[in-house]
Structure 1
Amino acid sequence: MRLSRLTLTTYFALGSTCVLAQAPLKPVLEEVVVTSTRQEEALQSIPISVSILSNDYISQLNLHNLEEAAASIPNIQMLNDAGGTQLFIRGIGSGINFGFEQSVGTFIDNVYYGRGRSTRSAFLDIERVEILKGPQSTLFGKNTIAGAINISTAQPTAITEGYVNSSYTSEINGKQITTVVNTPISSSLRVRAAALFYEDQGYVENTAPNGEDGPQQEEGIGRLSLAWSATEDIEFTLKGEVGRYKVIGRNDMISLANPEATAIYQLYGDPNFTADFDYKKASRDLPNRPQEDLTQTQNLQLTSVINLPNGTLRSITAYQGYDAEHIMDADYGPIPFLDRERHEDHRQLSQEFLLNGSLSRSVDYFAGAYFQQGKLDSHQTTKFMLSSIPLVESRLVALTGLAPGVMDADNVTHFDQDSHSYSAFASLTWRPADKIQTELGVRYSKEHKEISKSSIVAAPGETVTDPERAFALSSFNPISPLRTPPFSLALANEYSYQKERTEEHWTGHLNLQFIPSNQHMMYLKLSNGFKAGGFDEDNALGLEESAEFEDETVHAVELGSKSVLADNRVRFNVAWFYSEYKDIQASTFDGNCCFIVGNAAKSETQGVELDIEIALTQAFTLSSAIAYLEAEYKMFPNAACNEDQVLAWQADSVNNPSGSRAGCKQDLSGKPLQYAPHWAANMRLDYQTFVANNSDFRLGIEAVYTDDFNIANDQDAFLKQESYTKYNAYSRLTFAAWAFSLIGKNLSNEKTSNWGNDVPLASIGFSKTYYQFIEPPRTIEFQVAYHF
């Protein structure tokens, strides 16, 4: 787990002969202050396992976004998959379904961002990133069942300052420029403006005719923050931000294809097609539907702080929204016969009040109330052009008696959801003795969701906006198929339904701390949490048993110790954790068209996390993080089968005379969770020296190790990511106001995958054929910055 970069509290004035004459100062570690408890506290004093990414560390390696940052932290996995964003902590995360909420809550400047897409954008003027592990439901609220990510942006200050940073990255032809300006307008009003522009050409070559290389990124973000000190005790901060994030093409490829699939790809798509896991692929889109992913965000936030005689009152009012358009090649290969287009519109309004203070010298309190209103509208079109593969179509024509072309279709679905969340919490911290501290917290939460969902299957290009056809019977029957179209593969049905659900939860935590000295602290934390239930946004067949999934819950215990040793030269933190999850939400691809959504009965995670930071000398600092994890299903008897199991099921003519895939189930009890490597580690060595007046040189190298782990939830052996070690490094020369940096990432050029699955339509010739997403190759980045 990547803790804050170690810095020395010794300062040098090299231009002063009297300072140069002094004896060398002892190297020590700087105290790290975080807001992981929603209040500013020293990292070593809080009873939580936390990983910190400081502004210094982010800038040294120029970590572009949260996905890049997470790659360096043991027990953290983040990925942008075929259409969404997944985030896992200690093996717990959200699967593939746009109806799922996050298992890891993301907070930016104390505002909850409920959709993964909201956090895809680049880091801009970030002060620090805190990753809290384990349930955080009392202080942070819902959907923090696995943990929380707490991001703080830089705030306006009373100093006129700023910088311009420009960089170029090899391999992807990446160009970035970032500008930040901070200035006081008056003694009480301060302003900070930041902007970022970025583009690259991607790192995967598409060899198919007219294929798009990818993932080509274009990004622009602008932020303006105003801070006004109305009085000595009243402060207002207004922040507005807009962003535009576009990706052309993708980094997916068919990494394995059976002989029949290979022949089909070569005959009807690309005669030179070969399946491989490399930085080349063959993928073709339907006409006038190139692979693109465009997200436009708008965020507005007002934070008010009032200092009271014995405490502080904060009000956080926020609006956030995004509009997204996404077109993907859903067959992943060189034959343009299956794609999916999604339009997504999300709006969220939230209000939170936080009150903290002291009741006496030994008792502190913290309380809050939260309201959130959200609206999600999703419009999806899946185009199926089986006529693009005459060989496969002719087989189905002979089998079904349908005419050629009849099986081509457009499936259009609408998913509209309105949600309201209410919660309130309170916690008390009591210090009965000098060396003992205890904290008890509790939160009540209530959530209500209403959805309307419909599906239409039409001939290609057919107008499908007839409301009578789209919503017939929906007000009389909660789920009512309208008709089964002449769509022999049964990839989708026509249906329409409306549903609603309300759930209430009590969550809390108990922290016990023993503090024998200012350098040592031991803690025991007991907590529980929940992740809200909801509705299957995909549910292509309109199956009532798949329309809704239940909330999941967790009970957790963490035992830890935090120490500062050797005259503040060593920071040593260790934590053991155990969490039991019930009704965990799972999503597994059925090998044909759809993800099967349900609740696994029981899962457990346990392990140990160790962090060590050492100021070796005034010039050298060393940090290391090691994590051991056991995360498995304790009870999941009816999980979807992987492809090998499906083939065995279909071959069993006694149990499965029809050859259907639908009845195949496997028992995942005792099997590991996704993204849960047993071992993960990070080691980093930093060097800093002053070379002249107002000039210094920095050098750092980082090794990131990850044990093998499962990518697909069905435990398919082919999709296991083998263990690997990646190396990153940086060097920076600062001279007066200028800084010149050279940054290398993945220097060992490891080819790794963070997502993959079966290619759709295994039953018509694509069995044992897989696609995978490949992560970036080795890149070298040159950066120039001017500070003023």
Structure 2
Amino acid sequence: MTCNCGRCAMKISMRGLSSLALAVAISGGWATAGWAQQAAGEGGEGARASTDEIIVTAQGREQRLQDVPVAVSVVSGETLAEQGIRSLQDVSQRLGNVKITQGTQVNSINIRGVGSGENPGFEQAVATFSDGVYRSRSRASVAALFDIERLEVLKGPQGTFFGANASAGALSITTRKPDGTFDWNASGLYATDGEYSFEAGVSVPLGETLSGRIAGRASGTNGWVELANGGDAPHDDSLQGRVSLRWEPSANWRTDFRFDIAQSRTDDNAAFQLLNCPPPPGFPMSAVCGQILAANDKTFGSELDFVSEGVPSFQDFDFHEAALTNSLDTGAGTVRSITAYNWMKVDSELSLVPAFYPTAVGGNVGFPISQNERYRFFSQELRYESETGGTFEYLFGGYYQHARLQFGGLSNFYFLPFGAVIENALAVDFPNITPSTPLASGYTSTQSEDTFSAFAAVTIRPTDNLRINLGARYSRVSKDGTRDLTAGTSLNGDPASYVPFDNGTAFSGTIGAPITGSVAFCAIIGCALGDFPVSEITDDAFMPSVSLQYDVSPDAMVYAKYSRGFKAGGFSANSAADVFGPETVDAYEAGIKGSLAGNVVTYSLAAFRMDYQGLQETVFDSNAAASVSNVAEARSQGVELGLGLRASDWLRLNADVAYLDSVYRNYPNAECTKLEIANTPRGQTCVQDLSGSPRSYAPEWSGAVGAELMLPVSSDLDFTANPVVAFSSSYFMTATGDPLLQQEGYAKIDLRLGLSSHEGGWELALIGRNLTDKATASYRLGVPGADGSVLAMLERGRSVALQFSIRK
């Protein structure tokens, strides 16, 4: 391949090594030369230190990626935009040992087989940060990948530099900033499944010391799941916008301000597919499944097929965030202040019985649930960072945050005649409750949180090749919580029609004692009335870290690291009045990363072990009532290997393979499988010992392999082809080891074809996703009242998109 002025080679590196794969040698923390340059961007915080270097902030300050003894994956915003990737869930498809999925109450983020379960009361064990601002709510991931400079995925506990709730890892997002020059970009995409995205941004100088940027995106989809009653799902329309300002009044002072706003309106967001009705052998036929079969002219097998019965659902998401960062260069170091405010609300409705049938109380929706979440957050961080490059480097600082969460919901138990179920089970006669009474439970909870942290880190260089890194953070987290749960009646699942029972009235039955309607209801459903047993909790922890790293050559570095992570306890936000304790982890990691033959070959290898105590876990009973507990012990260990090969100036290959062994070490009182529950005699409690069993979202093997082919078509045009195969072995989706709630192993094939101007000003691309139309689910749960039947949330099927982008 010939080049007129070296532009060809530069463009290959700027496009990145298989930008489709996104996971070029990422597992061990090393990005290959081509991708590193693209991830670094052009100036600003991500500026290239040299032709083959990328700058990251994985340790709280700007460093070369090769100098960081952390398993960190890096991908640029430019790469994400080129690939049409706009969600963290899509990113995780190409990262070994990373699973990000959508659930009914939270979006689950798991790294190395560890994350937080489905409970809105949890902070995520994988913490998310945008420009250093913490985003504790998992639903905020909807607004994550918009007009960004880069995304860093850090694996393992990150307590020293990212705080108390990064016990499994952290996602660090750097947004795009104005830099005093004029530039603009725009792109449009439309796909065969109705996905669309129109995005534009412009940066302008507003004076000698002030510059600004404004960016916006309109995006959505018509859906990839066929609804049995016509149409497709999910149907989403989203808007995002950001205003950013940078003020540099002098050479040593810089102020960055940004304001983000996002809105999403999604209909049929929970278009579940019903599986196993009738249930598999060993399960008795349930009344719920029998009624579904009677009302529908078909059976529901065990294979995913992108078809849903279309029970109505929706989710409305609104998000605002403001962040102010001030930096003062004192000559010997930098004082940095980050102030932030975040506000978010989510309203949603869905049914956990994912098929229509005439219910016992009227209507045809068996288990409609409405939920609302309100959250606001303020934080302030102040830190001092010494200059880098000397024998002794250090940073220290303090952090404060205040957050308030309000969560509520209404669960309507229409799928069985619970009035009769309660009276028969308890031998109680309620004059005002009949088999056709539409019973429901209303729930509200409020939590407030105050966190204080102090942190410090030191790097000592006894020799030019050896670095000793010491770090620690002390955090104190105080929470107040209150809740209320009542039972009553409602019509058509409408929250406005909910009427709680008059619990001042007691009805007596043959049990020989008065009992109220709410008490009787919760005795059968498995809920808890009233407030939490305690209203205040405080947890604190000291989180040290130490690592040694040695440059065995200018192109290779070995490291070994110990770190301790911590996640505070809290209050459950569901039907149980659970107060759970903190979780802690001791993590060990050793690795090597480097390159050979002038970056012709790049490699990374990391081995790790993480031992958890008090791991926070959520379990569900047969009626989908949830409870939270702390698992005594769990262990996650494995090996991550990344390889990159620059085979020629026009061909690059890469592979990212991760092996994982993530198990419970001591969990004797776990929830049973659905089969065990179905065959447990009435009145007895079923538990199983999961000690030694795999954790959820922990496939044994995962990763991606890919390539980039680039050829000049003419003196003015270039052609690129980026194939990638992302794969995963099977994994469980709940903390039960239940084969019914398991995703089988899979491989998905993507292909991107691009035609661009030689100077990179415009590009026309054809983007194919999941070309073999492999059906997988991001979430599975047992259908309430129908042991053996399962609901599944389908991931995206085959799509082909046309995208045009232009920039200056």
Shift of 1:509: 0.3
Counterpart position of 1:343:
372
Alignment partner of 1:458 out of 475, 483, 488: 488
Counterpart position of 1:256:
276
- SS at the partner of 1:750? coil
Distance in 1 (alpha carbons) for counterparts of 2:609 and 2:546: 15
Distance in 2 (alpha carbons) for counterparts of 1:468 and 1:263: 34
1:741 and 2:765 equivalent? yes
| Mapping 1:505-520, distance limit 5 Å | 505-520=541-556
Sequence identity percentage: 26
Counterpart position of 1:502:
538
1:365 and 2:394 equivalent? yes
In 2 relative to 1, CA 395–437 (structure 1 residues): closer, same or farther, beyond 3 Å? closer
Scaled by the length of structure 2, the TM-score of the pair is 0.86
> Which shows bigger deviation, 624-633 or 456-465?
456-465
Distance in 1 (alpha carbons) for counterparts of 2:81 and 2:521: 57
Counterpart position of 2:509:
none
> Which shows bigger deviation, 608-617 or 71-80?
608-617
Alignment partner of 2:580 out of 549, 566, 577: 549
Distance in 2 (alpha carbons) for counterparts of 1:234 and 1:487: 60
State the Cα deviation string for residues 266-322 of structure 1 (Å, max 9, x = none): 33x4344534521112143xxxxx411011000001011111111111110000111
Counterpart position of 1:20:
none
Counterpart position of 1:112:
134
Conserved 8 A contact 2:563-2:588: yes
Distance in 2 (alpha carbons) for counterparts of 1:331 and 1:696: 52
State the Cα deviation string for residues 166-211 of structure 1 (Å, max 9, x = none): 11111x2122100111111122111111100012111112214xx8
In 2 relative to 1, CA 370–467 (structure 1 residues): closer, same or farther, beyond 3 Å? farther
Counterpart position of 1:313:
335
> Which shows bigger deviation, 508-517 or 525-534?
508-517
Shift of 1:60: 2.9
Distance in 1 (alpha carbons) for counterparts of 2:452 and 2:37: 48
State the Cα deviation string for residues 40-66 of structure 1 (Å, max 9, x = none): 111111101111122343123211211
Conserved 8 A contact 1:457-1:493: no
Alignment partner of 1:565 out of 566, 586, 596: 596
In 2 relative to 1, CA 348–539 (structure 1 residues): closer, same or farther, beyond 3 Å? same
1:524 and 2:554 equivalent? no
User: Structure 1 segments of 4 or more deviating over 6 A?
Assistant: 8-11, 392-399, 462-470
Q: Cα RMSD (Å) of the superposition?
A: 2.6
In 2 relative to 1, CA 359–87 (structure 1 residues): closer, same or farther, beyond 3 Å? closer
Alignment partner of 1:593 out of 624, 632, 653: 624
Shift of 1:489: 3.4
> Which shows bigger deviation, 2-11 or 735-744?
2-11
Conserved 8 A contact 1:6-1:615: no
- SS at the partner of 2:304? coil
**Letter of the 2:683 counterpart:** S
Shift of 1:724: 1.0
Shift of 1:9: 10
Shift of 1:412: 1.0
1:422 and 2:443 equivalent? no
> Which shows bigger deviation, 481-490 or 698-707?
481-490
In 2 relative to 1, CA 6–741 (structure 1 residues): closer, same or farther, beyond 3 Å? farther
| Mapping 1:470-509, distance limit 5 Å | 484-485=519-520, 489-497=524-532, 499-509=535-545
1:442 and 2:472 equivalent? yes
Counterpart position of 2:634:
603
Counterpart position of 2:41:
none
Shift of 1:154: 1.0
Distance in 2 (alpha carbons) for counterparts of 1:702 and 1:60: 15
Distance in 2 (alpha carbons) for counterparts of 1:369 and 1:107: 17
Counterpart position of 2:47:
none
In 2 relative to 1, CA 410–106 (structure 1 residues): closer, same or farther, beyond 3 Å? same
Counterpart position of 1:782:
802
In 2 relative to 1, CA 105–396 (structure 1 residues): closer, same or farther, beyond 3 Å? closer
Shift of 1:91: 0.3
In 2 relative to 1, CA 359–149 (structure 1 residues): closer, same or farther, beyond 3 Å? closer
> Which shows bigger deviation, 305-314 or 480-489?
480-489
State the Cα deviation string for residues 234-253 of structure 1 (Å, max 9, x = none): 00011001000121112311
Shift of 1:517: 2.2
| Mapping 1:226-265, distance limit 5 Å | 226-249=245-268, 250-257=270-277, 258=279, 259-260=285-286, 261-265=288-292
Distance in 1 (alpha carbons) for counterparts of 2:292 and 2:500: 37
Alignment partner of 2:242 out of 197, 204, 223: 223
Shift of 1:439: 0.9
Structure 2, unmatched stretches of 5+, are 1-22, 39-49, 280-284, 358-364, 505-514
- SS at the partner of 1:433? coil
**Letter of the 1:190 counterpart:** S
Distance in 2 (alpha carbons) for counterparts of 1:124 and 1:468: 49
Alignment partner of 1:185 out of 206, 211, 229: 206
| Mapping 1:391-430, distance limit 5 Å | 404-405=434-435, 407-430=437-460
Structure 1, unmatched stretches of 5+, are 12-27, 285-289, 471-479, 651-658
> Which shows bigger deviation, 716-725 or 302-311?
716-725
State the Cα deviation string for residues 403-449 of structure 1 (Å, max 9, x = none): 53465222111100110000010111101112211011111100100
Distance in 1 (alpha carbons) for counterparts of 2:393 and 2:454: 17
Conserved 8 A contact 1:407-1:488: no
Conserved 8 A contact 2:501-2:518: no
Shift of 1:532: 1.0
Shift of 1:573: 1.1
Distance in 2 (alpha carbons) for counterparts of 1:530 and 1:246: 35
Conserved 8 A contact 1:270-1:282: no
Counterpart position of 2:462:
432
1:153 and 2:180 equivalent? no
1:65 and 2:87 equivalent? yes
Shift of 1:395: 7.2
